[in-house]
């Protein structure tokens, strides 16, 4: 997909100001008023210039709400400019307003005969949404040869043939394209699933059974998001119990099996057009891998536009906008979900993350409380609630919540890690050190756990040899990890091997220059070998970094004690 077109800002401003200066001499005040132009004098540019530039800046910085707002204001003042319409199109798409984008395309078509292919996607999505597959297929033929475009064209072509009654033509197209994509398991198997659905569309029982056997032969390569389409065909055309057992055996635990079964019974939930909405969803994955997540976002919007019940598209979009610091918009996407999907558990957990990030901790926890009564999700909910308390420094409540989790054979091992971490944060050293044995048994090769346990032992001056051996093992696994190198340097400091300590601590500060505690450790090492000026500079720099209040106060005490007589 071609990149978004933008004029360089300084060229656009100079050009606009020059033209407007000439125009203003000829325009009367009444004409200026009619054009919505507010100016203190005749040489001032119209409002659309500022709004256009504001929308471009907001778009580039990921503030899509304001990009949309300013682009609309710019169009209200001047709606016959290609550049303004192009910018407004981008802003509308990333704001999720496909309807507006379609209106903008109709205006752009009057201004140019050579439009970017990005303007074709909303039209194709609209045709599918209206049930005009023939129209969608026809427009798709104008797309280029990029992988995601070929993917869309091939699937639309196959389904168009199917709707025309050409079963053999449809299946052969899908089979041929699948063979061309054997290096991409996801695409290849997605095409095989479409072939299964085409077979189901024609009620070809033998073809259905053969294609189903081919698909489940290598099920490990098929993403769980495809399972519903497979199970629906099996439920309708082969055997209902086989379909249920297929889902029961293969579904991830964070998806609701009961909702899946309800969907299998409801023919209105899964049809050819909801499937074609899913094609745009898959295009998003293809573009994300080749061009990055940012460029893939429009395709998830098109998928959601065709089928507003696509919870998976909502989750991806919400995650994107959350990462772009558009928390309220991300939350609205999840709140607007119109039905209960198998992903409703994930959706609620994502909402709790957003509430927490927006500093509404009580609401984040209350959203998860309802899961505590459901045995299927109780452990996951309690673990999540515990982590909210821990991140908000309520370590005792975090620990108490973890203790509510019933230990079973399938209990997540990270529970032992968080228990140990809470003991450390509560400075309950006896309980912490006792918990380390179980933790190391559960995570014998995990470098993060090895470093955590090793550092705690060294820092408490207990079992120093064991502690340093654990840290060395973590460093050997990840030699460029600044936190692990800090632990090793601090271990040598505790052992009195200061020269070795300085080597590792200096490297650690290079890798993690914003960490207060690591910088503090280096200051301690410098002080120990009488490099006092360097120690002072390092400690003063540490005070400018973010970190634990206890560490901050500890550094201040050292500076006051050692350098109190200096100006």
Tokens of 37: 């132009």
Question: Residue 374's pLDDT band (boundaries 50, 70, 90)?
Answer: confident
CB-CB contact of 228 with 263 (8 Å): yes
Question: Residue 110's pLDDT band (boundaries 50, 70, 90)?
Answer: confident
pLDDT tens for 214-245 read 888 877 778 888 888 899 999 999 999 999 99
**Comparison of pLDDT for 175 and 372, the residue scoring more:** 175
Distance CA 23, CA 11 (A): 18
CB-CB contact of 334 with 305 (8 Å): no
pLDDT at position 270: 57
Task: Residue 468: count other Cβ atoms within 10 Å of its Cβ.
Answer: 21
Asked whether residue 5 carries a pLDDT value surpassing 80, the answer given is no
Task: Compute the radius of gyration of the chain from its Cα atoms.
Answer: 30
pLDDT at position 418: 94
pLDDT at position 566: 55
Question: Residue 521's pLDDT band (boundaries 50, 70, 90)?
Answer: very high
CB-CB contact of 482 with 505 (8 Å): no
pTM score, whole prediction: 0.79
Distance CA 475, CA 465 (A): 15
3-state secondary structure of 348: helix
DSSP type of residue 445:
T
* Structural domain boundaries in the chain: 9-111
Distance CA 67, CA 180 (A): 41
Task: Tally the residues of the chain.
Answer: 567
Q: What percent of the chain has pLDDT over 90?
A: 62
pLDDT at position 27: 34
Asked whether residue 24 carries a pLDDT value surpassing 50, the answer given is no
**Cα–Cα nearest to 383, from 408, 362, 402, 411:** 402
pLDDT tens for 523-566 read 999 999 999 999 999 999 999 998 888 899 999 999 998 887 55
Report the sign of the C-alpha dihedral through residues 53, 55, 58, 61, in that order.
negative
pLDDT at position 254: 81
* Helix and strand counts by DSSP (H, E) for the chain: 32, 0
pLDDT tens for 42-79 read 444 567 888 888 999 989 988 898 999 999 888 888 87
* Helix, strand, coil tally for the chain in percent (to 5): 75, 0, 25
Mean pLDDT estimate for the chain? 86
Exposure string over 409-419, b if 16+ CB within 10 A, otherwise e? eeeeebbbbbb
pLDDT tens for 276-287 read 889 999 999 999
Q: What is the CATH number of domain 9-111?
A: 1.25.40
Q: List Cα–Cα distances, 512 to 168, 328, 329, 400, 508, in angstroms.
A: 61, 32, 33, 33, 6
Q: What percent of the chain has pLDDT over 70?
A: 90
């Amino acid at each position: 997909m071609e990149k978004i077109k933008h004029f360089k800002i300084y060229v656009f401003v100079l050009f606009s100001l020059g033209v407007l200066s000439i125009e203003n001499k000829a325009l009367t005040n009444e004409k200026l008023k009619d054009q919505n132009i507010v100016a203190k004098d005749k040489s001032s540019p119209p409002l659309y210039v500022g709004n256009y530039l504001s929308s471009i800046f907001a778009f580039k910085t990921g503030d899509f709400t304001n990009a949309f707002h300013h682009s609309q204001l710019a169009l209200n003042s001047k709606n016959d400019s290609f550049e303004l319409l192009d910018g407004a199109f981008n802003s509308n798409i990333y704001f999720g307003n496909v309807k507006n984008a379609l209106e903008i395309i109709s205006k752009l078509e009057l201004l140019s005969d050579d439009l970017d292919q990005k303007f074709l996607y909303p039209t194709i999505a609209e045709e599918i949404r209206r049930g005009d597959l023939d129209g969608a297929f026809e427009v798709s033929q104008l797309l280029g040869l990029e992988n995601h475009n070929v993917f869309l064209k091939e699937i639309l072509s196959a389904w168009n043939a199917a709707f025309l009654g050409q079963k053999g033509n449809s299946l052969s197209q899908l089979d041929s394209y699948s063979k061309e994509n054997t290096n991409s398991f996801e695409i290849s198997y997605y095409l095989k699933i479409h072939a299964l659905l085409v077979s189901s569309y024609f009620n070809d029982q033998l073809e259905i059974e053969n294609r189903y056997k081919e698909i489940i032969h290598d099920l490990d390569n098929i993403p769980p998001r495809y399972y519903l389409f497979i199970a629906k065909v099996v439920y309708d055309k082969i055997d209902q119990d086989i379909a249920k057992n297929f889902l029961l055996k293969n579904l991830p635990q964070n998806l609701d099996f009961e909702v899946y079964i309800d969907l299998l019974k409801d023919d209105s939930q899964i049809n050819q057009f909801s499937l074609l909405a899913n094609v745009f969803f898959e295009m998003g994955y293809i573009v994300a891998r080749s061009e990055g997540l940012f460029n893939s976002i429009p395709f998830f919007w098109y998928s959601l536009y065709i089928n507003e019940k696509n919870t998976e598209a909502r989750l991806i979009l919400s995650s994107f906008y959350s990462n772009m610091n558009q928390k309220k918009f991300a939350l609205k996407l999840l709140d607007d979900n119109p039905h209960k999907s198998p992903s409703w558990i994930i959706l609620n957990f994502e909402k709790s993350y957003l509430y927490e990030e927006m500093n509404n901790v009580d609401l984040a926890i209350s959203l998860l409380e309802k899961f505590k009564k459901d045995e299927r999700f109780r452990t996951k909910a309690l673990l999540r609630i515990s982590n909210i308390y821990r991140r908000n420094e309520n370590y005792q409540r975090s620990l108490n919540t973890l203790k509510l989790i019933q230990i079973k054979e399938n209990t997540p091992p990270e529970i032992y890690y968080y228990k140990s971490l809470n003991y450390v944060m509560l400075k309950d050293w006896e309980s912490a050190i006792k918990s380390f044995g179980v933790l190391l048994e559960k995570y014998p090769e995990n470098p993060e756990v090895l470093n955590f346990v090793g550092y705690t032992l060294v820092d408490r001056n207990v079992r120093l040899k064991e502690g340093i051996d654990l840290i060395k093992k973590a460093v050997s696994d990840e030699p460029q990890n600044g936190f692990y190198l800090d632990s090793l340097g601090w271990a040598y400091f505790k052992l009195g091997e200061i020269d070795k300590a300085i080597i590792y601590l200096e490297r650690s500060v290079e890798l993690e220059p914003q960490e207060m505690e690591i910088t503090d450790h280096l200051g301690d090492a410098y002080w120990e070998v009488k490099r006092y000026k360097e120690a002072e500079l390092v400690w003063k720099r540490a005070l400018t970094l973010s970190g634990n209040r206890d560490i901050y106060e500890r550094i201040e005490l050292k500076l006051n004690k050692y350098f109190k007589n200096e100006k």
